[in-house]
Structure 1
């Protein structure tokens, strides 16, 4: 049996990658299975339920027309309970039968700055480095392995090197742009900071990190999901997950130790994931954030409510049509994707009222999403002397959202792993919040403080204020 070890058994993995493995196994090709666990002590109830259910759970999907379907997913053959030393997780990663280690991480969880250097000011990362150094070549000290993806992968790869288990593919399943290349860079920096030259050489020679693009809207499950599952199937599932009916996975076909025949169940195995990745991140991910920030400012709870609001839909439509599409489809480099059709499909998906995806979930991590999802379009447009008014609306919405958070007026808890809370409060308290916001190098990189960015943000901020006050934002 070939094993794919997945780190991060959250809703998205169980509604996406695990589904593809399950469907391949359903065709009769059962030579691959998933073993999964978490590197942090979270999701206790879900993990306990998955263990009790031998890794099985129900996936509920719903179409834009509201048609629901239910499927029992059986791809996860073993769920590893969390332990601080992650010993069982590491043992599976070091097993010769494990050919792929995959992981789902938030953008902020990679701790990479604008130059893809590790942000050593991040407390979790610094703690893991200190513990790994104290542990010496054998690993971490104090009975823990650490929780950052770099600490976990380093421990697995060191154990694998020492056991002679052979090559391994490291596969990202998340929204980080150029995720395989960039996570590999962060991993090699982490190992270099440990001074473990032998491990560094082994990783260079025995691993690969293909870039990948994933797409499926997967809200956090609410109690009514379990109620519908029981009504439809008769099973009191303790770990159900729900998602939209749309699903997509595009992977660069670079694997050093074999892979499942995913192309048989709809995965797009390609030479380069870049055009698909750029379209998804700029069209879907950035627009999603736009709708969540604007919807929150308008007092809404769900994404589909924002899509029904003409002004909010207009913000997202103008951003994609005016600025993103001309960047991604140019005469010298045409896109393989019909971007207008893709935009319309994405907006239809956002408008699905049955998904009930919350603004809270989508609005999180703005300090990572602006540089990851929005800044590239601004840089490209400015480099060509092109206007950025439509794109500037997105960070202007986030600034207004941040100012609400600063005043304690967001109706839910805002989570942002990449945010320095003190610096964000200082930004909002500044005499000129727009200038302070635009000067932040983490957000803006090479265009921080650019007068054209500041000017566009001032105009956009005025339009946002008009929108929030109930006026016409197009004026």
Structure 2
């Protein structure tokens, strides 16, 4: 039987709780035509890769419902681990093999280096490095892979973005094409057009960092001594545009929703789930809480998230075929799961990417239909106060953000009018950065945040 490789770049907990779980279900049903090879661009998770290598790629996934029902499953779909090295040659060589038919990736929202106009942030240090021939970003790595495929005569493939980026396949494709244009690689652009597709996807499963007691719990429940377990909520969803370039796994057989357009699903998920999640994390942190569930169960914070979705998002999305009020309630219920112990620190990350991608579009649409986005403006207001605490060194944890310009943020808060500088940031707010009424609205909401967290 022919075996095909699904190469995954970004071997984090989310991939292992989500895409790898789906591919495992295919194998468990007896379809062994596909397996996953996986590795990382960054050298920050090699302890996990080493542990998985020792376990021959196997690990246990614990899932838990809001009611505390736990289930355990050993995942077997990752059958090749690619160790990190500076030139990423193991990853590139695997991607260049003819049997690699799908290359998927989870590199976080910030890993695409896109501005509010969806163009590349070419001034970013990692991206600038890759434009000179490096391989610190997904664009540099995929370019190397495509060049190797061309040299090897390898066949067509699908490039599958599995991150929370609106129109993620299209955004990645356009970013890659711009990268190739900037590096003068016209032959690769032509090969890409003829031999690859970049479907849009929507992925969903809350996946916290594994709890310290997870290995002991798994040992007690399964007898397996696992050095690299993962945990997630029971809920899972994967919606994929049916636009693969070549052969693909029988994804329908394992519950993946193959659709003509992902847009209604991704808009609902990005605006309702992802934006609310970050809102709750920033607010919970400012109010002295550690976990998402305790933050969500705080009435004042719940009200901010609920009002944001109800007053601004649902009118913006309109009748898109999804029962949005029910989806809102399901999402907020998921956030109250105390057994996940998802931290505010994890969810609060990457705010400088999340605001333009997840929140600014709703505010722009509110203004377009003649409404003032009072509810949505609370979210960037929360982030302003959150970063003010970071500036003062008063956050209870290290804030992680792939595109954080620390000097610029400190300079903003040291300026005479930090709010004016914040509101005029086109990278965050696009066309709203020109509006005096938007600046006034942010001032009002930042004061409301101060009142909220007192």
- SS of 1:276's equivalent in the other structure is helix
Q: Distance in 1 between matches of 2:191 and 2:173?
A: 13
Write the mapping of 1:176-195 to structure 2, written as runs, cut at 5 A: 176-195=165-184
Q: Is the 8 A contact 1:435 1:449 kept in 2?
A: no
What CA deviation, in whole Å up to 9, does each residue of 1:40-91 have, x standing for no partner? 1111211100011111100000001011110000001111111112222222
How far apart are 1:431 and its partner, in Å? 2.1
Which consecutive unaligned segments of at least 5 residues does structure 1 have? 133-144, 470-475
Q: Distance in 2 between matches of 1:94 and 1:175?
A: 26
Write the mapping of 1:317-396 to structure 2, written as runs, cut at 5 A: 317-329=306-318, 334-396=319-381
What CA deviation, in whole Å up to 9, does each residue of 1:107-154 have, x standing for no partner? 111111111221111001111211x2xxxxxxxxxxxx5120001100
- Residue 136 of structure 1 corresponds to which residue in structure 2? none
Moved more, 280-289 or 113-122: 113-122
How far apart are 1:347 and its partner, in Å? 0.5
Q: Distance in 1 between matches of 2:47 and 2:187?
A: 40
Write the mapping of 1:86-105 to structure 2, written as runs, cut at 5 A: 86-105=88-107
Matched, 1:411 2:396: yes
Q: Distance in 2 between matches of 1:213 and 1:319?
A: 21
Q: Distance in 2 between matches of 1:231 and 1:449?
A: 59
- Residue 142 of structure 1 corresponds to which residue in structure 2? none
- SS of 2:213's equivalent in the other structure is helix
- Residue 464 of structure 1 corresponds to which residue in structure 2? 449
Q: Distance in 2 between matches of 1:292 and 1:157?
A: 39
How far apart are 1:197 and its partner, in Å? 1.6
Q: Distance in 1 between matches of 2:271 and 2:187?
A: 39
Q: Distance in 2 between matches of 1:107 and 1:191?
A: 20
Q: Distance in 2 between matches of 1:92 and 1:353?
A: 40
- Residue 111 of structure 1 corresponds to which residue in structure 2? 113
- Residue 252 of structure 1 corresponds to which residue in structure 2? 241
Q: Is the 8 A contact 1:438 1:454 kept in 2?
A: yes
- SS of 2:101's equivalent in the other structure is strand
- Residue 84 of structure 2 corresponds to which residue in structure 1? 82
Write the mapping of 1:53-452 to structure 2, written as runs, cut at 5 A: 53-130=55-132, 132=133, 146-329=135-318, 334-452=319-437
Q: How many residues align?
A: 452
Which consecutive unaligned segments of at least 5 residues does structure 2 have? none
What CA deviation, in whole Å up to 9, does each residue of 1:313-340 have, x standing for no partner? 00000000000000111xxxx2111001
- SS of 1:223's equivalent in the other structure is coil
Q: Distance in 2 between matches of 1:464 and 1:98?
A: 50
Q: Distance in 2 between matches of 1:77 and 1:349?
A: 32
How far apart are 1:164 and its partner, in Å? 0.9
Q: Distance in 2 between matches of 1:302 and 1:428?
A: 27
How far apart are 1:433 and its partner, in Å? 2.1
Q: Distance in 2 between matches of 1:158 and 1:336?
A: 42
**TM-score between both structures, scaled by the size of structure 2:** 0.98
**TM-score between both structures, scaled by the size of structure 1:** 0.94
Q: Distance in 2 between matches of 1:426 and 1:350?
A: 35
- SS of 1:176's equivalent in the other structure is coil
- Residue 12 of structure 1 corresponds to which residue in structure 2? 14
- Residue 37 of structure 2 corresponds to which residue in structure 1? 35
What CA deviation, in whole Å up to 9, does each residue of 1:284-336 have, x standing for no partner? 0000000000000000000001111000000000000000000111xxxx211
Q: Distance in 1 between matches of 2:138 and 2:210?
A: 25
How far apart are 1:452 and its partner, in Å? 2.3
How far apart are 1:222 and its partner, in Å? 2.5
Q: Distance in 1 between matches of 2:394 and 2:434?
A: 28
Q: Distance in 1 between matches of 2:356 and 2:116?
A: 8
Q: Distance in 2 between matches of 1:274 and 1:452?
A: 30
Moved more, 182-191 or 80-89: 80-89
